[in-house]
Amino acid sequence: MAGLLTARVLTEFYDHVSLIERDELDDSAAPRRGVPQSRQPHLLLARCGLILEELFPGITADLVAGGAHEWRDGDLSRFHAHFGGHLLARDGRIPDPGSVVNYFASRAFLESHVRRRVLALPTLTLMDRHDIDSLVCRGCAVTGVRVTSRADRATRDIDADLVVDATGRGSRTPAFLEQMGYPRPREDHLAVNVCYVSMPVRIPDGALHEYLIVDLFKPGKPRGFAMLRCENDTWIAAIGTLGKDVEAPASAAELMAFAEPLMPPHVFAAIKAGEPLDDVALHRFPANRWRRYDRMVRFPAHLLVTGDAVCSFNPIYGQGMTVAAVEVMTLRGCLRRSGTDLPRRFHRAAAKTVAVAWRTAVGSDLSLPEVEGPRTLSARLSNGYVDRVLRAAETDPWVAQQFFQVTGMLSPPAVLFRPAMLRRLAGAATRRPDTVRPVDVGATA
């Protein structure tokens, strides 16, 4: 997704754009080998939907026409979501329904719609089934890439005025930099050792009212589940495990056995009566990782890195596609404001968005005692405060709306600390006893 969106923006500024991809791309909405996480549930956060619509006018209507589900009416009963041990409000509607719009579909379905739009661009050339062997350099500048075709093993150089690495978590740019005489970027790292095992299921329309059902890890609870409604009458059910010592389900039968004590009874009844569409798919995620290209003193000209190639988070937060989309809009802004040293300007500007998502993911992971790492005083205070927000969101649709706007990356986390929120929390505290609850994954804004 990072590569597709980057290619779309680059066509606004360059006469010709080459999109190099190792997989064979066709018009199908099927998971790809090069996207190992594509069989897991994916969230199109609200801000990502806005960016897609800006880059590809009409695409969200196309998604809905193709079978995706749209949450635009603010009906809170469409969610059965636990955050930090709190079940968010399920009665009524958020006060401003149009302020948070979500679309629910599978990753492969979303990608196929974006890919179709990108490949139709007249100045774009697709080179699928090609491997990138190395960067081509002249002096202190990258001037292209060397690629090998998987079809005939022929190797050739492709000249370019700008090279953007959107190859994902397995990016080889750090090794390429080292070969060129540059240092590798510093890496920020937090091990989490989580596994997600998912299975697509057909559940007849009407059997479940919700779009999203989730209750994941909290202290002392290293297993959790998530179910996401996808296009038409398909769902993806996922079980998550935390820690090296917790075995993940290895079959559909084991997934169901794991799921029964975790899911609300009506949800388990629906999935049990549903039709499995494929075997289970396992995705291991060992660690959050941020390659700090924004901190590099020396960096070659005409080379940028974006998406998961820069930073990858625990997937449960659903931030990956949205962060990539925001980075693409940052690139667009940098290209519109002409100036020297594009890599430095872009990496430093993009790091501001990455930093917000990183603090959310890492802060939430560190709220779990099973995750090893330093817990700063500010993080502990922040987690405690957000627990109060979530407690209020159990019954207050306005507070739930503010929380959705932050987690949807529409608003900065600072909105949760504004006077209007403080007044709401004070009112909630007078209406019910103050109890201590754990803050779990996804709770830290």
Assess whether 250 and 309 both reside in one domain.
no
pLDDT averaged over consecutive 10-residue blocks of the chain (445 residues)? 97 98 90 88 95 98 98 97 92 96 97 97 97 96 98 97 97 97 97 95 94 89 92 96 90 94 94 95 96 98 98 91 97 93 97 94 89 88 90 96 96 94 87 44 31
Is 301 in the same domain as 379? Answer: yes
pLDDT recorded at residue 171: 97
Is residue 85 domain-resident?
no
Question: Does 83 fall in a domain?
Answer: no
Residue with tokens 């007249």: 122
Both 122 and 210 in one domain: the answer is no
Q: Do 257 and 231 have their domain in common?
A: yes
Domain residues for the domain of 105 are 1-73+96-188+286-445
Residue at a domain's end among 268, 285, 302 = 285
- 339 and 210, same structural domain? no
Domain harbouring 298, CATH code:
3.50.50.60
My answer on whether 63 and 137 are in the same domain is yes
Residues 196 and 226 placed together within one structural domain of the fold: yes
The CATH number covering residue 225 comes to 3.30.9.30
Position 440 scores a pLDDT of: 36
What's the total number of domains in the chain? 2
CA nearest neighbour of 300 among 171, 188, 147, 136: 136
Q: Are residues 342 and 307 in the same domain?
A: yes
Distance CA 293, CA 297 (A): 9
Are both 196 and 101 inside the same structural domain?
A: no
* Four-residue CA torsion sign, 343, 349, 352, 353: negative
**Cα torsion at 56, 59, 60, 63 (round to 10°)?**
-150
Tell me whether strands 163-165 and 303-305 are parallel, antiparallel or unpaired.
parallel
143 and 20 co-located in one domain: yes
Q: What is the pTM of this model?
A: 0.93
Q: In this structure, what token pair is assigned to residue 100?
A: 């948070």
Which residue is it, tokens 């929120």? 421
Q: Last residue of a domain, which of 250, 270, 285? A: 285
Structural domain ending residue among the three candidates 269, 285, 301: 285
Contact 76, 94 (CB under 8 A): yes
Residue 210: alpha-carbon gap to chain centroid:
21
Tokens 């989490």, residue?
Answer: 192
| Residue 256 in domain | yes
d(CA 315, CA 105) in angstroms, rounded, equals 16
Report the largest interatomic distance among the alpha carbons of the chain, rounded to a whole angstrom: 72
Q: What pLDDT was estimated at residue 179? A: 95
DSSP helix/strand/coil, 433: coil
Q: Residue 30: what pLDDT?
A: 87
Q: What are phi and psi of 10, to 5 degrees?
A: -65, -25
Q: Are residues 2 and 105 in the same domain?
A: yes
C-alpha span between 36 and 195 (Å, rounded): 13
Q: Are strands 130-138 and 86-87 parallel, antiparallel or unpaired?
A: unpaired
Pair 296, 442 in one domain: yes
pLDDT at position 431 is 65
